[in-house]
Structure 1
C-alpha cells in the first residue's frame, strides 16, 4: 500500500500573498491545454486567435460556474460560512459546473462571432480532458476527492486510513480518454462534433463508476449528483451523435 508524505497545500508566500499548489496545478492544466488547442487549431486551419478570445471569457466563467455548482449542492455548509464561498484555493470546484459554464460561453461566443460551435468544441475537447487529468492532482494536494477505505495494494493513506485514490483513478481514466481523442480526430469518418461528444461520453462513463467509490459526493437526497449528471450527459451526447449521423446520411442521399 502507498503511504505518501503529505504535501503542504501552500507552495510559497510572497509577503501577504499566499500561493497554493492547487492554483499552480490548475494554471498548469490551463496553459498546457491551451497550447495543445492552439496547435490543433492551426492543424485544422482554424483561426487560433478565436480560441484566445474565447479563453478570455471561458476561464473566468468556468471558475465561477464550477464554484457556484459546488456551493449550491453544499449550501447547508456555506449558508453558515459565507466567507468561504470564494475560497476556491481550498478546493470545491465541480467539473460539471465548469463544463456547463464553458459550454454556454462557447455557444454564445460562436453565435456572436459566427463560428461553427462543433468545430471549436472538437478542437478544444482533448485539451479539456487533459486539463481534468492534471487538475485531479490538485485534489491529491488538498487531500480531497478520495474514496472509501480499502485494503487493495494500491490504496493510499489519506485522512487517517487506507482509501481508494479516486482522484488517481479519474486522472488515469482522463489520460486514456485524451489518447482516444487524439486517435479519433485523425479518422476521416468522424462527423463534426463527434470528438467533443465522445469526450463527454467517455468522461461521463468513467465518472459514473468512480463516483460510486467517493466519500464526498455532492448529493441530492439519496442521489449522487455527479452520477445523475453523467447518465444525462451520456444519453444526450449519444443522441446528438446519432442525430449528426442521420443528418449526414440524409444529405448524402
Structure 2
C-alpha cells in the first residue's frame, strides 16, 4: 500500500468518525409562564457575568477596589448595549429602513444584532463616567477589562448560534453548521470561529500583561488589535446582509482602520509609558485644597 493510499484511507476514516455537521438549536426562546427567556439575551448576560468576574479579579491585582467594577459597569453596560445596537442598525440598515423593512425592529434587541464597535465606543463613554465618579484611572480600568471583554464576546456569540444567524458561506468541512432554512447544506460556523479566536486572544492578553507588565491602556489597545485581526478574516466568510464599500463589507474596512489605529496607539503609549501605573487610584481632592482653590470674595 502506498503512502498516498494510506493517507487517503486515514482521512476517510477520520471524516467518517466525525459528525456530519454542527446542528443548530431548534429553539431559541423558552417561556416561564408569560415571560420569555431568550437564548440571545441569556448569552449576553452570561458574557457580562464572565467579564465582571475576570475584571474584578484583575482590577484588585492592579490595586483597585473590588466594588469599583460594579459601580463602573452600572454605567458602561447600558451605554455599551445602546451603542452596539445603534452601530448594528447603521451598518445593516436594510432590515429596518430598506424596502419592506420595519423601523420598529430596530428596538428588538432580543432578535440579535449588536455591533461591537458601537458597543466599545459608547461603552467606553459609560466606563469613563464611572471611572471619574470612582476617582480611578480610566486607562488602568480598560487594561483590567480587556481580557474579560474578549471572553464576554465569545460567550455572547452563542446567542447567534441559537438564532441561526451570522453564519458563513457554504462549506464541505465536517464541522460545517446546519441551518434549518437550508437543509442538506453546511455553512462555516463563524460564531464558533470567533469564540475560539476570542478565547485564545484573551489568554494571550493575560500572558503578555503578566510577562511585560503592560499599563496605561496598552492591554486594551492590544485587545483591539487582536480582535480586529480575527474579525477581518471571519467577517469575510459571512454572507448575511451588510453594507458594502468598494465591494467589501463595511465591518472589514472598520476592522482594518481600527486595528491600524490600535497598533499605532500601542506603540505611542509604550514609548511614553513603558511600564505599568504605580496606582490606579486618582488622588482625591482634599477639602483644604478645594477651599484654597476657591477665589476670595470680591476677587
| Paired residues of 2:73 and 2:127 also in contact (CA < 8 A) | no
Counterpart of 1:8?
Answer: 27
Whether 1:227 aligns to 2:252 is yes
- In 2, Cα distance between equivalents of 1:106 and 1:2: 41
SS of residue matched to 2:199 = helix
**In structure 2, distance between residues paired with 1:135 and 1:194:** 24
Q: Rate the CA distance shift 1:120–1:205 in 2: closer, same or farther, 3 A.
A: same
Contact 1:122 1:195 in 2 (8 A): yes
Q: Tell me the TM-score normalised to structure 2 length.
A: 0.78
Give me the whole-angstrom Cα distance separating, in 1, the residues matched to 2:137 and 2:241.
35
- Structure 2 equivalent of residue 164 of structure 1: 188
Ranges in structure 1 where 5+ consecutive residues have no aligned partner: none
Please give the secondary structure, in 2, of the residue aligned with 1:187. Answer: helix
Offset at residue 217 of structure 1 (A): 5.2
C-alpha contact 1:217 1:224 (8 A) present in aligned 2? no
User: Residue 121 of structure 1 corresponds to which residue in structure 2?
Assistant: 142
1:139 shift after superposition: 0.5
Assess if the C-alpha contact under 8 Å between 2:154 and 2:194 holds in 1: yes
TM-superposed CA distance for 1:122, in Å, is: 0.5
The residue aligned with 1:74 is: 92
CA displacement at 1:163 relative to structure 2:
0.7
The residue aligned with 2:128 is 107
Is the radius of gyration larger for structure 1 or structure 2?
2
**Which structure 2 residues correspond to residues 58-97 of structure 1 after superposition, within 5 A?**
58-79=76-97, 80-97=101-118
Structure 1 runs of 4+ with >4 Å offset: none
Aligned residue for 2:261?
A: 236
Q: Distance in 1 between matches of 2:22 and 2:213?
A: 46
Residue 24 of structure 1 corresponds to which residue in structure 2? Answer: 42
Post-superposition Cα deviations, 1:137-169, rounded to whole Å, max 9, x if no partner, equal 110000011000111222122241211111110
Query: What's the counterpart of residue 217 of structure 2?
Result: 193
Assess, with a 3 A threshold, how the Cα gap between structure 1 residues 120 and 5 changes in structure 2: closer, same or farther: closer
Q: Can you give the 5+ residue segments of structure 2 that lack an aligned partner in the other structure?
A: 1-19, 275-299
Q: 2 CA distance for matches of 1:191 and 1:61?
A: 25
CA distance in 1 between counterparts of 2:160 and 2:109 reads 12
- TM, length-normalised to structure 1: 0.91
Q: 2:218·2:270 contact (CA, 8 Å) conserved in 1? A: no
- The farther-off stretch of 129-138 and 221-230 is 221-230
Instruction: Please tell me the root mean square deviation across aligned C-alpha atoms, in Å.
Output: 1.7
